Amino acid sequence: MNETLLRALTGSLYVTIVLASTLHPISFVVLFGLFLALAIWEFCKMNNIPIKAPILGGIVFYLLFYFFSFSEFTINLLLLCSLLVSVRATLFMYSASPFLLSKNTKLVFLVGYIVMPFVLLSKIPFLTQAYSSTPVILLFVLIWANDTFAYLVGKTWGKTKLLERISPKKTREGFIGGLICTILLAILIDYFLQTQSIRYISVFALLVGIGSTIGDLIESKFKRVAGVKDSGNLLPGHGGILDRLDSIIFVAPLAYLFFKLIPYVS
């Protein structure tokens, strides 16, 4: 089968499954619990970490935050830890040489950069009094849009490399073009939904556009250090689940904080 066609079919199936899962809280939590297990498996394999215990621990941690009520302080502490690890991952991305990570650093990234963002992502639809999938759908649509527009603009007009030593194909023109198109799309979506202000939706789209690019670059750095092209081969034409969720992993804590401070009114 033609590689482009295979990639398109796989991507369409992935998008359909993700969007369908948001229709009910149980299907949403179950799907992303599965995605978390796969992400842990790929991260551990890529970084030579024993797999069984992290997967079990990660899933238990994820489910605890779904089935049990935790105090506001505990959730805020989880958010703070995840954001701090995200900062550490960003510094790791910008480091000049692909140095080897210590065992403890790998475990910190596993917990703070993989497991915690999934927990926070699963909590976003429950920030309102009743389950609302709209903020999560908007989050995913804008991330997908940013990736697509950045690729198209970069392929057409891209000349200046964004961070060549990590991702040779990304360009500044693609980054800026993707960002602008994502903001315009967010404004267009909100024009039809008429639920938020232009300022609100534009700031959120800006946050998503920048964050998704950083998340993509961080995962590229992990792969370069590990010496692999893809995090896995689960999704034909797309690589592994981390290759598909690298942006959402970085953006999830930021999106949670944004929606918590300024609730999305659907």
Tens-digit pLDDT profile for residues 79-93: 999 999 999 999 988
SS (H, E, C) 239-265: ECHHHHHHHHHHHHHHHHHHHHHCCCC
User: Which DSSP state fits 115?
Assistant: I
Q: State what percent of residues in the chain have pLDDT above 90.
A: 55
pLDDT at 237: 62
Kindly report the pTM of this predicted structure.
0.93
pLDDT at 254 (0 to 100): 96
User: What's the pLDDT tens digit per position in 219-238?
Assistant: 989 888 888 887 877 766 66
Residue 215, pLDDT above cutoff 70: yes
CA distance 173 to 29: 37
**Nearest residue to 123 via CA among 191, 74, 161, 178:** 74
Residue 121 has pLDDT above 70, yes or no: yes
CA distance 94 to 114: 19
User: What was the pLDDT predicted at 172?
Assistant: 93
More confident residue, 25 or 229: 25
Q: Yes or no: say if 223 and 230 are a contact pair by the CB < 8 Å rule.
A: yes
Is residue 11 predicted with pLDDT exceeding 60? yes
